[in-house]
Amino acid sequence: MRKFSLPILGLGLMFLAACSADRDPKLDTVKRAIDHARCQLTQAAAEFDTLRGFPRSLMPKFKEVDPKDWTSGFFPGSLWEAYRLTGDEQLRTAAERYTDRLEGIQYYKGTHDLGFMVFCSYGQQQAALGDPHSAEVIVEASKSLISRCDPQVGVIRSWDFGEWNYPVIIDNMMNLEMLFWASKHTGDSVYRDVAVRHADITLRNHFRDDASSYHVVSYNDDGTVESRGTFQGYADSSAWARGQGWGLYGYTMCYRETGDEKYLRHAERIADFIMHHPATPEDRIPYWDYNAPDIPDAPRDASAAAVISSALFELSTLVPEAEGRTYFDYAETLLLNLSSDDYLAEKGTNGGFVLMHSVGHWPADSEIDTPLNYADYYYLEAIQRYLTLRGIDPQQL
């Protein structure tokens, strides 16, 4: 083995000392967040194992759900993300265990949420392990998902409940990512074709002139619009914060997958709406709805902030450098503020969830100012994207 001579060793130590003196405090914040996440998720995975379900939220008390719930994939997905951030094998075995419980859901045709349920769990497992079984599950789930697209209407139907004829919610943009993956994996364009048509029709019908979106657009059987409104937002005409995040993330992803400039332009317009909205508080974590009547006393939605942060990190890589910098800086501000004591839970508290202070469904008086498993999922994804963009290996932090 080659030995360092003393002068070289001395120089090396000086270099290391300089590095630690200059160490970016933002990295310490992120390192602490990863450590909290590892601790919280390890505890939750062990504690809830016997329940056979998936932890979802804490409001009004601990809520655990079965595989058919739209959020079932986020807890396994968070375990995978935490595993990829830490290399902790205990997290990996827990991730596999919880992912396995979702196997049957690939055949479920009762919701559009299959993308969330399967791609956040099996998709993460596939990315981590490259295993053929996960790929088969994802492809089967994609078949189930496109079965919900009536060719006459041209979009994937979101829900089978309610008074609407054919409801499609902005959240549905998130489920398209699985379809793009399925086409790349199988070489069959059928999944991608459905995704592109869905994205195009949604672009036409879901957005207002200021690029904010309606939550629910319902269609008539001939594909014309039956109604535009909301389910989870404050009002039909309001901008529900998480919905703006879903749209931003969805069109950014569609541009990544297709290279179609109209998706990029649209993602930029949504980003502009979010980043320059006058009802944005100083720490940038949005109120649950941009038009909530009790702003500045309205609850914040950490889940919206996490989705927006993750999406903006990706968008920052798809545009010219100066523009990308503004997206990166905004996303970083969100990430660091979510990682502060205002939102990041103390270890051993918060029911094992990582973040506090999200809003699930205000009009139903459900899950208000509570942890939510999808806030944790997109927060961990944002951390991963942040470190990748900075060229930092999370396990060497």
Q: Is 171 in the active site?
A: yes
Instruction: Find tokens 């859901």 and name the residue.
Output: 105
232 binds ligand GLY (CB under 6 A): yes
- Contact residue for ligand GLY among 140, 171, 257, 381 (CB under 6 A): 171
**Does 242 participate in binding ligand GLY (rule CB under 6 A)?**
yes
> Using the 8-state DSSP alphabet, how is residue 317 labeled?
T
* Residue 289 interacting with ligand GLY (CB under 6 A): no
Do 90 and 42 contact (CB within 8 A), yes or no?
yes
Give the nearest distance from C-beta 243 to ligand GLY in angstroms.
7
- Helix 89-100 and helix 74-86: axis angle, to 10°? 160
Question: Which one, 42 or 303, has the nearer CB to ligand GLY?
Answer: 303
Min separation Cβ 367 and ligand GLY, Å: 9
Asked if residue 70 binds ligand GLY (CB under 6 A), the reply is yes
Residue number of the CB atom closest to ligand GLY: 171
CB atoms within 10 A of CB 188: 13
H helices present in 213-320, as ranges = 241-258, 261-275, 302-316
Considering 113, 289, 301, 376, which one is annotated as catalytic?
Answer: 113
What is the spatial distance between Cα 397 and Cα 395, in angstroms, rounded to a whole number?
Answer: 6
- The answer to whether residue 140 forms part of the interface with ligand GLY (CB under 6 A) is no
- Contact yes or no for 287/279 (Cβ under 8 A): yes
Instruction: Collect all residues with Cβ–Cβ distance below 8 Å to 207 and sequence separation of at least 6.
Output: 213, 214, 247, 266
Q: Which is nearer to ligand GLY, 77 or 360 (CB)?
A: 360
Minimum distance between the CB of residue 169 and ligand GLY, rounded to whole angstroms?
Answer: 7
CA distance 175 to 55: 21
Nearer to ligand GLY, 242 or 357 (CB): 242
Q: Which of residues 349-388 bind ligand GLY (CB under 6 A)?
A: 360
For ligand GLY, the closer of residues 206 and 242 by Cβ is: 242
- Rg, C-alpha atoms of the chain: 21
Catalytic residue at 113? yes
Considering the complex, what minimum distance in angstroms separates the CB of residue 389 from ligand GLY? 26
3-state secondary structure of 306: helix
Tell me how far CA of residue 256 lies from CA of 120, 210, 260, in angstroms.
18, 23, 8
* 38 contacts ligand GLY (rule: CB under 6 A): no
Q: Which residues are catalytic?
A: 113, 171
Binding site for ligand GLY (CB under 6 A): 70, 171, 232, 242, 360
